[in-house]
Amino acid sequence: MKKIDVDTVRFLDIVKPAISIEKAQKILNDLYGFSGKLKPLDSEWDVNFHVIAVDGRQFLLKISNDEEALDTINFENAALAHIARTRPALPVPRLLNTTGGCDIGSTYAASGVEHKVRLLTFLPGITLADVARTDTLVFNQGKIAAEMALALQGFFHPAAKSRQLLWDIREVGTLRPIAEKIVNPDTRALILGIIENFERVIKPGLDQLRVQIAHMDLSRYNMVVADPDSEIVSGIIDFGDMHHGPLIQDVAIAVADIMQPEPAPYSKARHFLRGYHHVLPLQMKEIALLYDLVRVYLVTYYLILIRRGITYDIAAQDDVLALIENLTHRGYETVTDLFCEACYPPHPQGVATTVEVLEEGLKDHLACSNGTTKGVKI
């Protein structure tokens, strides 16, 4: 197999635009004709600011990384416009034009590098990462994830299939060099085995499934609720990982995120899948691949955590690895039975029994680690 230089993978190491609040305020006034109070927001490779205008309206000012292709930005804008036309009730950001009537503006850094600028409506609320996710909330998370998939059905843009995307799990092989440097031989063998199985067995058949443009990052960080006690998702944000691929890939990413960090990951996965399947039924051949796709996403996440080190939360490495190990220990048939039962339940008692067995196994697995947080050395 041809070796891929991991250092050529775009956005693996984060280098964001150097844009100060003062510079952002000038951009806002020059391009959109108003000023406001700006607060920096977390972002992986763009620079984002929460804007509160004098009249109280709220916006998101997004200044793109100079490595982001214009076609990709146009693709995201077209998707948001499509959703606004076809599913106007879906709570997603809306794009605003510059004073010149354009949906994209430009600014220049001190270095002379051009950055594209957009202004979107801001969806207030609390991310699901910062609230207790009840079973009802997770069920509703599944429902709105399916509604998002339905909203994007029938939409296409040429940039959707051509973009190089770090988080596209079909490209997990590009991260192989990171896995090969893991010091612990058992962990290294586990991660490399999952990559090898995916590339040899799973990946070749993915295009035979339902494919479409999908959000592809419906995580706890990209959904918000109005208040800590709400059990209704009030907004979906960040379309930066959207691309064309198997529908079940979009589901797998959401399920993997649902399962970590959670004390009862299998129960939460069941509730999410029930909610999703209630709105958009999954096919049995898709569910049959869910176990492997969840593990591959977790491996992708794990390897990026290792590479970025202190840039990301090192403590999360152990949580993600523990879930990969537990899924692998429980095995394909047991976990896939759970996923099938969530969508096509034979009887409630059988589902509960399966979940209880899996949860007890995870507790035993976590107890063996004594709660230590070490991170992985490479």
| pTM of the complete model beyond 0.75 | yes
Any domain includes 74: yes
148 plus 80 within the same structural domain = no
CA distance 198 to 171: 10
261 plus 177 within the same structural domain = yes
Any domain includes 298: yes
The average confidence (pLDDT) of the chain is 89
206 plus 252 within the same structural domain = yes
For residue 367, the model assigns a pLDDT of 44
85 or 363: which leads in pLDDT: 85
For residue 110, the model assigns a pLDDT of 84
6 or 340: which leads in pLDDT: 340
Name the residue with tokens 């589902």. 351
CA distance 83 to 6: 35
CA nearest neighbour of 129 among 261, 319, 279: 261
- CATH assignment at residue 224: 3.90.1200.10
104 plus 205 within the same structural domain = no
For residue 350, the model assigns a pLDDT of 46
Residue pair 169/203 in contact (Cβ under 8 Å)? The answer is no
Which helix (H) or strand (E) segment holds residue 289: the answer is helix 284-308
pLDDT of 196 higher than 50:
yes
203 plus 326 within the same structural domain = yes
Any domain includes 81: yes
**Buried/exposed 295-330: b ≥16 CB within 10 Å, e otherwise:** bbbbbbbbbbbbbeeeebebebbbbbbbbbbbbeeb
Phi and psi, residue 311, nearest 5°: -65, -30
Any domain includes 373: no
pLDDT (mean) for 67-86: 95
63 plus 80 within the same structural domain = yes
For residue 314, the model assigns a pLDDT of 59
Q: Which residues, 6+ apart, have CB-to-CB distance to 327 below 8 Å?
A: 291, 294, 295, 298, 335
Q: Where are the beta strands (DSSP E) in the chain?
A: 36-41, 47-53, 58-63, 95-96, 105-108, 114-121, 126-127, 211-214, 223-225, 233-236, 243-246
Among 51-55, 108-112, 141-145, name the one with the lowest average pLDDT.
108-112
171 plus 217 within the same structural domain = yes
234 plus 361 within the same structural domain = yes
For residue 346, the model assigns a pLDDT of 75
86 plus 203 within the same structural domain = no
Any domain includes 30: yes
Tell me which DSSP letter residue 158 carries: T
| Domain finish residue from 78, 98, 122 | 122
User: What is the span of the domain harbouring residue 199?
Assistant: 127-368
CB atoms within 10 A of CB 160: 22
| Domain finish residue from 122, 153, 171 | 122
Any domain includes 131: yes
97 plus 145 within the same structural domain = no
**Model confidence pLDDT, tens digit, residues 232-241:** 999 999 999 9
Residue pair 267/356 in contact (Cβ under 8 Å)? The answer is no
Tell me how long the chain is. Answer: 378
pLDDT > 90 in the chain, percent: 77
Any domain includes 241: yes
53 plus 141 within the same structural domain = no
Is residue 42 very low, low, confident or very high in pLDDT (cuts 50, 70, 90)? confident
- Number of structural domains found in the chain: 2
pLDDT (mean) for 85-96: 97
- CATH assignment at residue 76: 3.30.200.20
Tally DSSP H helices, then E strands, for the chain. 12, 11
166 plus 116 within the same structural domain = no
> Would you call 27 helix, strand, or coil by DSSP?
helix
| Domain finish residue from 79, 107, 122 | 122
Any domain includes 239: yes
352 or 63: which leads in pLDDT: 63
**Model confidence pLDDT, tens digit, residues 185-195:** 999 999 999 99
Is residue 161 very low, low, confident or very high in pLDDT (cuts 50, 70, 90)? confident
218 or 350: which leads in pLDDT: 218
Which helix (H) or strand (E) segment holds residue 142: the answer is helix 135-152
